[in-house]
Structure 1
Amino acid sequence: MWKVLFASAVFFNLSQAAPIDATVENFAIADHFQEIISVIPKDLIKNITYEHLKTDEAFKSAVQFMQTDEWNNRVKIIREKPEWIALKKYMTGFGIHIDKFIKCADGFLQNVTVKLDPMHPPSKKSVRAFLTDIERNLPIAKILSIIHEKMVKNSELQQLFEKMSSDDTRKMIDNVLALSEIRSMLKDLAEMDMDITEMLSLIYAFLGWGELKLQ
């Protein structure tokens, strides 16, 4: 789960267009998230990423796929869907700006150069080794400790999660997850060993929404 949950930190470190705190800069309780972000070893994650871009053919193949017209066109279609627009607008009310994360991801994917070794083609596109290295170098125990402390002691954060766990939020997320383009993207990511549905299932359970059902 943590491999997927913190993989996004890479994009915030590598994108020149946005700093690591871009998604929370306008958040009402940004300082609490800054403490979590501050313990992530940003330079180390950046070094791991570029090392995999040099030596990990499966990772390079996955990144290259996410630079293709096929991937970019699907992202464009999703961003124009009314369900996605409605969710973004709704989440902005909590101070969560989804577009800023997407800009960071795009900044990385579009600006990095990938050169595959023609003599050693990968058997598949995969980010497994990359995510394993990221997970191994994250202070997970410290991050969990900070999150636990804030969830127990901070009433403002507790109120935020209560609002976010509403039926309205779930319906909007369910509507987005029902999009065929989203389903295709989740399938592609799972085939590249990044199973986002695992993280989504944990989020659903954490927010009291029961079992995630993707048909």
Structure 2
Amino acid sequence: MSCPHRFDTAAYVLGALDPDDRERFEAHLRTGCAECRAAVGELAPMPGLLAHASADDLLESAPAPPGGLLPSLVDRVRRTRRRSRLRTATAAVAAAACLAAAAFAAGALLRPAPPPATPAPSPSAVAAPAVFEPVGGVDMWGAATLVERPEGTRIELDCVYNSRYDYGDATTGYVLTVVRADGSTERAGSWDARDAEQAEVTLFTRGKPEDVVAMEIRDLDGRLVLRWPSG
């Protein structure tokens, strides 16, 4: 039988859960639910992909929404969860893409042709990677390069997990949080890792690289394992 919490995975990865629901879902992940942990790992790249998707991408690739798609999805979730919010993993993303494509198509019919686009500036990466410091004796290593993009900052993360940090046969999930100069924080993304494995992960955050003053990596139990800068 499928886990009833599977409807929360997409909303969790996209940062759409309210604080109480998010706390409950993370508590559920700490119980070791393999189905939900796997779903979170599969959907982890989605925020970065959506952030880089342009209007042309959506118009070219998004299928036309079938009639009654959104009402049927809402009814289905209400029957299973008795809640008013739609949280299914693939349906949430598909519905959002379809609605966005329809909105862009309607706008294209009403607005005049735009002026010729100017070439986008080339992305500029920071001179040196940000090297993380292990916390609490965790045998891990990590470094991140921040690349400025027109829509924000791409985080190219490289982590190595030593075999002495034993996961057994299961994967372990991690979350990277960005701290900005104004004190605000943003969850840049999450991913899964196996014992003695090197992971190369691409994440995304709003703002410019110079706005990022600190980064933290925690496991799904909330334990801080890596931080930058060292403190």
TM tier, smaller: under 0.3
| TM value normalised by structure 2 | 0.21
Is the strand fraction higher in 1 or 2? 2
Say which one has the larger Rg: 2
**Higher RCO (CA 8 Å, separation ≥ 6 residues):** 1
Question: Which structure has the highest helix share of the two?
Answer: 1
